[in-house]
Amino acid sequence: MEKRALISVTDKKDLKNFAKTLVDLGFEIISTGGTLKFLLDSGINATPIDNVTGFKEMIGGRVKTLHPNIHGGILYIRDDKEHVNEINSEGIKPIDIVICNLYPFKEVVAKNPSLEDAIENIDIGGVTLLRAAAKNFKYVTVIVDPSDYASITKELLERGNTSYETRKKLCVKAFSHTADYDSAIDSYFSEVLTDNKKIRFSFDSGKTLRYGENWHQNASFFKKDTVEPSASNMKQLHGKVLSYNNYFDIEAALNVAKELSSYNAAVIVKHLNPCGIATGKSLFDALKNAWDGDRVSAYGSIIALTKKVDLKTASFLKGRFVEVIIAPSFDDDALEFLKNKSKDLRILETGKLFTSEDKVYKFLIGGVIEQDRPKGLYEKWECVTEKKFPDDKKELGLFTIIATKYTKSNSIVLGMEYEKGYFKVLGSGVGQPNRVDSLKKLAIPKIYENLENMWDEEKPNVPKEVFFKERISECVLVSDAFFPFDDTIRVAAEHNIKYIIQSGGSIRDKEVIDTSNKFGISMVFTGMRYFNH
């Protein structure tokens, strides 16, 4: 029996070779408009669609494939005698393969076109072809994605037809494509024609997790396409399957690592909060200093590193329990060491770290919030106190802002320059109802605990109190938002903190500035808040 393929595509990538293969395999190719011209110009014999339908393409190409000679050939059930007799009596020939992708509606409306241009990029015949072929997947191969040409070519050459399993997968792909297409049209026209802003989500590859946030909760993880390195597309090289809590901690660690990707940097996260962040001359130095930020909380943590992991860096984790280690790549010996360290350690490879997504979403019961991704570190850099903020403290200040940006509000973070040009978090207080507690009850005790460790290891030739006072005086304190009162400033002054960065914007800014001047504190207003809920 004669085999026929209908080709009508917007995306002509790799089409020439695939169409030539079909011709070599004995397929008659039917085609339309621009696709027909492309095939003929490429030296590939193709039959114009109007030779099959008996009608010329009509009304500016709006009607060309909508005809019984086309859809009858696609939709009839090959095992149904009545269908076969009806098709034969009407002189309709089978169409075995449909290759179609649609007008670029999403790309067009992203450029804010006129309504008329948007309307003309709504595909009618293409969607109908895809739905018809996908509906009859038991017999018809539907191809919407050029990346499938190679595997389909292989099957056609080996067996003369695609397998039923392949046609099932291609069917789903086609319906997914039309669903996404209709969703884009729905969202656009809902907003443009009825002023009803609408958003739709599509996630797939759902997999069941061992349990949810707690043992008694069921959970699944679904993916969406993104090029940005994330928990959805990184490669797991080793270890147990990821848990619900792993996914959230991975995202929290990666967000910081992406901001620090130009440095050798290490980020250690526990229950969504960074408990250690550092840059270093080497990746090993960064990891060691990040670990020293909170040695207790680092137990069972998630670690994100910004550069390729070498053996020395990997060896630092000997005898230290962590749940997950994430990095752009791993040296072979470093990977082997980590694999041998624990059969359960999850090792994840991201490729180069970067950001590309512009929006972030928070799901609530019955709703979702869309907002701009929090980009940037400051809108202004204004020293508002009598004591000026030194230029050589600015890089430390920016590092500490990054650390603050990804801790849970209310938060206070103190960063220190432990070596010229390299920084670490000395202590932080996060997730508190007020910033005084964040500083006084959490950050300050952690700072002194870490300074005690540094004192013991460095064995400096100065009294401990002097060592503590000198080190703290060189730190930068960052608040995730403005100070509503001067009480946090007074606590900072008690502990010899001399440099503070905050957003500004409180009705008591003058009071806060006056208190800072009283204690010789230098304060910068950034005009940017870093809430993280």
CATH at 244: 3.40.140.20
* Catalytic residue positions, numbered: 135, 271
Same domain as 284, residue 174? no
DSSP state of 146: G
pLDDT at 1: 60
**Residue 228 counted as domain residue:** no
Residues (pLDDT < 70) of the chain are 1
Q: How far apart are CA 34 and CA 187, in angstroms?
A: 28
Domain assignment present for residue 12? The answer is: yes
* Residue listed under structure tokens 């109802």: 433
pLDDT of residue 103: 87
Q: Are residues 178 and 245 in the same domain?
A: no
User: Count of domains in the chain?
Assistant: 3
Judgement on whether residues 147 and 262 belong to the same structural domain of the protein: no
- 86 phi/psi in degrees, rounded to 5: -65, -45
Give 521's DSSP letter.
Answer: -
pLDDT of residue 190: 94
Q: What pLDDT shows up at residue 235?
A: 96
Do the domain assignments include residue 354?
Answer: no
Q: Is residue 369 part of a domain?
A: no
Residues 127 and 72 in one domain: yes
Q: Which residue range is the domain that position 145 belongs to?
A: 3-194
Asked if residue 311 and residue 393 are part of one domain, the reply reads no
Residues 325 and 410 in one domain: no
Residue 199 included in any domain: no
Q: Is the bond into 69 cis (omega within 30 degrees of 0)?
A: no
Are 453 and 338 in a shared domain?
Answer: no
C-beta separation of 134 from 176 below 8 A: no
Same domain, 37 and 179: yes
Domain with residue 176: its CATH number is 3.40.50.1380
Residue 372 lies in a domain: no
Q: pLDDT digit string (tens) for 462-510? A: 999 999 999 999 999 999 999 999 999 999 999 999 999 999 999 999 9
Q: Are residues 294 and 426 in the same domain?
A: no
Q: Which of 163, 194, 225 is the last residue of a domain?
A: 194
- The CA distance from 270 to 290, in Å, is 13
CA distance 332 to 348: 14
Spatial contact of 352 and 306, defined as CB atoms under 8 Å apart: no
Tell me: do 241 and 133 sit in the same domain.
no
Q: Maximum CA pair distance of the chain?
A: 103
The confidence score (pLDDT) of residue 336 equals 97
What's the mean per-residue pLDDT of the chain?
Answer: 94
One domain, residues 118 and 46 = yes
For residue 371, being part of any structural domain is answered with no
Q: Is residue 370 part of a domain?
A: no
Q: Are residues 385 and 339 in the same domain?
A: no
